[in-house]
Structure 1
């Protein structure tokens, strides 16, 4: 299975095209008002229509209620709902049961103990996104440019699909993949020139570096 690459926090047609043309498998739209990457509903719907059929569309939400999620589902029609808040297992299960979209649950990681939660969510989510816990004082659960110690993922083989996020950029994504063997990577701030401002060159460089690392890993496995 080839590496899945997700570019999150896109907010313009131009950068959406940059990501998809460079080979992104997933594109993320942020529905969290305190994020510099927040997109209004009408803009998100237009962006989703522009991307539909070219990449999977992910709607990032944070602790929304059913009526708020319903509005996103009806207007934007994403392929995925990314739950990036403090949603407990039961809430994730309820969302997955009510809505037709696949569900991605983000979990904050700082120490090996945090990985224990993966098993709790494995049966109620279609994919787990391992992100760094936000630094002290942050008012955002993700997109902070922080990373965690990837070496704790050596030998990590959960019973659910998963992706790696948190502090990734074009310079370190290859090393992150070499250490973690993650089947997917997700980036937002690491491909920006300023908070909320995606950079086409950094998007292309990130995807190229990730694909190259995946190819090297595949060749190594085949040779062994």
Structure 2
């Protein structure tokens, strides 16, 4: 069954709506200066309330393995998602499971799939200069389809309740990830869209 991650969670209300709608994972942006940033202490409070089989994911950019491990240990998150220029060597030093994000411009970017053998999965997002994520833009899904034949892929980038079914049917990813596509404003979820997104993703996965 397709997994669904709702990212950019900043409140307990939004977290519970996502979980009750069937989300498998919640994402917390631990990158200062970004519009969906949440303090690690606040993320810890939300994560502690979640059911045991819902993954809580900390999103980081270019933090040292030691910093990441310390924050994860303090906040109780279950894994991390790395959106920066973290090297394979740095990732090997992590004590927590990780997902490596790849910003996609073309098929050549898929070479990174072979560089991080310890990654639990690869999140494919749209490349936009000076934007490490949360762009709200799609990229050619045929690239993601190719990646999904080689690795465990989490499809992201411009997904919405209106296009997620098509994305799932075409790419057949391990999971889909959404943030801005189900928001009223950065960090504030539209509960109707969250429910519709998850419903559409699951329906497409059964076809």
- What interval of TM-score do these two structures reach, taking the shorter chain for normalisation? over 0.9
Is residue 82–residue 98 contact of structure 2 (8 Å, CA) maintained in 1? Answer: yes
Tell me how far apart the structure 2 counterparts of residues 126 and 78 of structure 1 sit (CA, whole Å). 15
1:196 and 2:190 aligned: no
Aligned to 2:97: 102
Structure label with greater radius of gyration: 1
Number of the residue aligned with 2:110: 115
* TM-aligned CA deviation for residue 35 of structure 1: 1.6
Q: Which residue of 1 is the match for residue 160 of structure 2? A: 169
Provide the secondary structure at the position in 1 that maps to 2:181.
helix
How does the TM-score come out when normalised to structure 1?
Answer: 0.87
**Structure 1 vs Structure 2 CA RMSD:** 1.5
Distance between the aligned counterparts of 1:86 and 1:195, measured in 2? Answer: 24
Q: 1:58–1:18: structure 2 CA closer, same or farther, 3 Å change rule?
A: same
Q: Post-superposition shift, 1:186?
A: 0.5
State the shift of 1:158 in Å: 4.7
**More deviation, 183-192/147-156:** 147-156
Give matches, 1:33-182, under 5 Å. Answer: 33-95=32-94, 99=95, 101-121=96-116, 123-134=117-128, 136=129, 138=130, 140-182=131-173
Q: Which runs of 5+ in 2 are unaligned?
A: none
1:154–1:125 Cα change, 3 Å: closer
Offset from partner CA, 1:6-54 (integer Å, 9 cap, x none): 0111010100001000000011111001221110122111011111415
Q: Deviations over 1:51-85 (max 9, x none)?
A: 14151111111111234213312211111111111
Is contact 1:24-1:207 (8 Å) kept? yes
Secondary structure at the residue paired with 1:212? helix
- CA distance in 1 between counterparts of 2:38 and 2:164 reads 26
Q: Is the 8 A contact 2:144 2:155 kept in 1?
A: no
CA distance in 2 between partners of 1:85 and 1:155 (Å): 23
| Distance in 1 separating the partners of 2:145 and 2:84 | 26
- 2:9 matched to which residue of 1? 10
Match of 1:220 in 2: none
Task: Give the Cα separation in 2 of the matches to 1:155 and 1:58.
Answer: 25
Inter-partner Cα distance in structure 2 for 1:206 and 1:28: 16
Q: CA deviation at 1:178?
A: 1.6
SS of the residue corresponding to residue 57 of structure 2 reads strand
8 A contact 1:118–1:158 mirrored in 2: no
Uncovered stretches (5+) of structure 1, i.e. residues with no partner: 217-224
